[in-house]
Chain A
Amino acid sequence: MSGRGGFIARRLLHLIPVVLGITVISFMLSYALPADPMTVNLGELAAADPEVVASFRQEWGLDRSPVEQYLTYVYNLLQGNMGISISTRRPVFQELRQALPATYELAVASMLISIVVGIPLGVLAAVKRNTAVDQVTRFIALVGLSVPVFWLGLVGLFVFYAQLGWVPGPGRTSATIPNPPFVTGFMVVDALLARRPDAALDTLWHLVLPSLVLAMYNLGILARLMRSAMLEVLGEDYVRTARAKGLPERVVLLRHALSNALIPIITVIGLGFGRLLSGAVVTESVFAWPGLGLYAFRSATTLDFPAIMGVGIAVASTYLIVNLIVDITYAFADPRIRLTN
């Protein structure tokens, strides 16, 4: 295979060794902990009963050697079975299928806000350097980069929900609106599939504040980077030439300056998506958002090995796929890049 298709296929194939590597690392780290899943999953009185302990260890394969446990896990994984959560006794795949769409919904909305707001702000700040617009942009960027997302979330809830009442409170939907049947896990899509515009609008409305809060960090980075990249490009000879040719300022800015300034921004967007997944742990906690962040936290604190491995695989795969998309996007933004190797 060659060309774009081959490139994408090869990159997707790279997922397999990376995911296996993630399972090895997750498994080894889980075992390195000086604690036992039994400790957190059996109550003290249950843990004092040897029969219950033996039954627990047998059920979860903890009575077998670590190598045997790992090989069993990988064997099952290759057949699409991510195991059963020790904590909830439900299939990990099923749990991830519920948690991941909630996080993706939040992360994609946040990323869109970061891009749609951050890039134009950066461009405006560069074009109107040292004006009030520039100062405001730099302040917003500073807030986004320096204020902890946890604090920002609570303040956002206090001001926009509790005081002003502009946005709804914590949660993915209003308690008064029954959830649509689970199909994709993306609540907006599921609501539309169920012909429930009320639920779709309600979900979208609940997305506003958490995604804005989660977006602030990336928005700050993008606005800052865009500003400095534009300032650099605007001083280049080819921009001066374009202006000298009498091209309208809009064309100079968008076609000549912005297109060149965008290339490093795409890289940052890709990296920013990974940061969104980690930032979601805190945001989901503040906004009672039942996504991967809450799931990862619960899995880690209950030493739920299959769930921890599942989270690792989900995050790594997401990150790799986003990076693949970023690489493909390079080719659109920069004609010198080819998707062959």
Chain B
Amino acid sequence: MGGTTMSERGIRIAGKLASSFTKRALVRLTAVAAGVGLLGLQLGQTAAAQTMLVVAETFNIKTLDPSRSIEGTQMTVNKVLYDTLVTFEGEDVKTPRPSLATEWSTSEDGRSYTFKLRSGVTFASGNPLTAADVKWSLDRMINLKATTAFFVEGIESIEAPDAVTVVIRMKEATPALLAILATPSLGILDSKTVIANGGNAGPGANTTDKAEQYLNSKSAGSGAFVLESYTPDQEFVLVKNPKYWRGPAAIDRIVIRNITEASAQELALKKGDIDIALNIGQDQIASLEKAGVTVRASPVAVIFYLQMNIDPAVAGSFANPIVWQAVRSALDYEGLLTLAGPGATPLAGLMPAIFPGAPDANGAAKMDRAKAASLLKGANLSRVSGKLTFYQDATVNGVSMNLMAQKIQADLAAVGITLDLGGVPIPLAVAQWRAGTTPVGLFRWVADYADPANYLGFLPGAAVGKRSRWLEDTSPAAAELVQLGNEARKEPDAAKRAALYEKLQTRLVETGPYIPLFQPAAPYAYRPNVTGVTYHSVWRIDFATVKKRI
């Protein structure tokens, strides 16, 4: 009986649902929805009268704790939450400038760096910034043994002899130290605040430090902005630090929102709902320019390259240096640059052209298919085939890896080289690469800090070299390259250092199992009423210098 009652009730509900959808109801619903919308828009417009900057970004972040992370979004956000000892101005990656340190000197052996700190700097908390905070921040990074450890692995000791002096002693001469110290991951933390919230910089900090959760919700720096809120996968809200030592920023409030689709960023930018889009793709550029939005493409410290394995058991014919030369001559570099998008530049070495010591781009390889065919014929290599590993369906630095792989396949086919496409998801591609089982790979290498030392990984036995099974003892030439790399890494004189790097790069391209393809540029766009936008390869846009006309 009860079932019958329930059934009737259900029918009545369903009946009401069906009968409610009349024309009149539809009109009412539409009117209510429109009213709600207008009210929402009205409220939005009222609030927009503040100096607020809205930024669209595809989030790439694990944590906001600067000492634990090297991801792109973290770098951008922490650049304005924390200050570093030194910095770079605008898009420059060559000349470190004062920031928290006003001056510095290097010992004769190049191992000791002495920094004098700016006086009168306070953290957003009001605590004064002293040398003890610098020492504590660097010690913490060393002892966290996190993914950032490579930044500080060369440090032997950090001393703070007085409140305004910091001495960093390196294990060997390390001219790259200044560039490393300019990275937002090396931001100086307010040690008192962080300690009060579980921070620990001593030995064993990798298990005893508990400050990360705090740093994900509050900032503890001296930067131009303070973190108001961080909602993972959604947004950051930063507010101006009125006590900033350089003077308050022009923007009162920054909202950085996670918008993963480039086309959605494009639409929101055109509508004026966002002020800066950090992740537009090539498909958006023309449309945005037509809409009167400022579109720019700045060089980034990234290179795309082909890598061969030197072990014939892995790579077959592709382990033959003659084949490397043939591939180098077979590629249509102009076509590759077109695919890479506006601002991309040719590469003569395995290092971005923006770093000192990079070989002149005029020396970059050029397509010469007759030479390629002749090389193959001369070596009696009538049938060369292999498989190209690449990041399937990924677009990195605005470059479609699928299109790039197809282009390379077509270029090599033109000289009789068969290359099957072996695209796999990024984690699997990286796993294969680390195992040294990639016959031929299309990869990119990103600089974590603004120094050519980042690219020493291509040397025999180093991070990239060993994945080609190219080791120091592979050949006398390989051993010589390693020696040259060590000299370049330690050379304190800037001019000599640049010359060493250039020599190294030329030799590396001549003898190594790599083919540099291009250096991409990062396209980004902003509304015409936004000014002061510069794009740095490491932290991208420094919001402290951005202004907006309302």
Contact = CB atoms under 8 A, between A and B. Distances in A.
Interface of A: 33-36, 39-49, 51-52, 55-56, 59, 87-90, 95, 98-99, 115-117, 119-121, 123, 154, 157-158, 161-162, 165-172, 174-179, 198, 201-202, 204-205, 208, 250, 254-255, 258-259, 262, 285-288, 290, 294-295, 298, 301-303, 329, 331-338
A162 B7 contact: no
A95 B232 contact: yes
A333 B10 contact: yes
Interface of B: 3-4, 6-7, 9-11, 14-15, 17-21, 33-34, 36-37, 39-41, 43-48, 50, 52, 54, 62-63, 68, 70, 145-150, 153, 206-207, 212-213, 216, 229, 231-235, 237, 255, 257-261, 263-264, 267-268, 270-271, 273-274, 425-428, 430-432, 434, 448, 457, 463
Q: Is the interface of B mostly helix, strand, loop or mixed?
A: helix
A127 B430 CA distance: 59
Contacts of B21: 116-117, 120-121
A301 B426 contact: yes
Contacts of A178: 237
A170 B268 contact: yes
A176 B48 contact: yes
B267 A158 contact: yes
Contacts of A202: 40, 43-44
A334 B6 CA distance: 8
B62 A41 contact: yes
Given A51-B149, A288-B257, A90 B232 contact: yes
A39 B213 CA distance: 24
A43 B70 contact: yes
A259 B7 contact: yes
B264 A51 contact: no
A148 B339 CA distance: 27
A168 B40 contact: yes
B448 A288 contact: no
Given A44-B457, A45-B457, A301-B427, 11 more contacts: A39-B434, A45-B150, A46-B147, A59-B206, A116-B21, A169-B273, A174-B40, A174-B44, A176-B48, A259-B14, A298-B233
Contacts of B62: 41, 87-89
5 contacts: A44-B463, A95-B232, A169-B267, A175-B257, A255-B11
Contact of B147 (A42, A254, A255): A42
A260 B258 CA distance: 46
Contacts of A88: 62-63, 232
Contacts of B37: 166-168, 205, 208
Contacts, number: 230
B54 A175 contact: yes
A290 B145 contact: no
B7 A333 contact: yes
Nearest to A182: B231
A120 B18 contact: yes
A52 to B, nearest CB: 5
B3 A254 contact: no
Contacts of A201: 36, 39-40, 43
B39 A179 contact: no
A115 B150 contact: no
A107 B54 CA distance: 28
Contact of B216 (A87, A90, A334): A90
B47 A288 contact: no
Contact of B259 (A117, A170, A301, A329): A170
A43 B427 CA distance: 12
A287 B147 contact: no
B431 to A, nearest CB: 4
Given A52-B149, A116-B17, A204-B36, A157 B267 contact: yes
A161 B257 contact: no
A157 B229 contact: no
Contact of B431 (A35, A171, A198): A35
Q: Which of A51, A176, A259 has the most CB of B within 10 A?
A: A176
Contacts of B150: 43, 45-46, 48-49, 52
A249 to B, nearest CB: 12
Contacts of B19: 250, 254
Contacts of B34: 166
B231 A290 contact: yes
A336 B14 contact: no
Given A154-B263, A175-B54, A288-B261, A336 B15 contact: no
Contacts of A332: 6-7, 9-10
Contacts of B260: 285, 288, 294
Contact of A49 (B48, B153, B264, B273): B153
Contacts of A166: 34, 37
Given A157-B264, A201-B43, A176 B52 contact: yes
Contact of A162 (B232, B271, B274): B271
Contacts of B41: 168
Given A34-B431, A45-B448, A49-B150, A258 B237 contact: no
A317 to B, nearest CB: 21
Contact of B229 (A179, A205, A287, A298): A179
Nearest to B64: A88
A332 to B, nearest CB: 4
Contact of A175 (B6, B52, B63): B52
Contacts of B273: 168-169, 174-175
Contact of A334 (B7, B14, B20, B426): B7
B15 A169 contact: no
A292 to B, nearest CB: 10
Contacts of A42: 147
A335 B8 CA distance: 9
B206 A55 contact: yes
A325 B356 CA distance: 66
Contacts of B52: 175-176
Nearest to B63: A89
Contacts of B4: 335
A298 to B, nearest CB: 7
Contacts of B9: 332
Q: Which of A117, A169, A175, A338 has the most CB of B within 10 A?
A: A175
Nearest to A112: B17
B8 to A, nearest CB: 8
A100 to B, nearest CB: 12
Given A34-B431, A45-B150, A201-B39, A40 B426 contact: yes
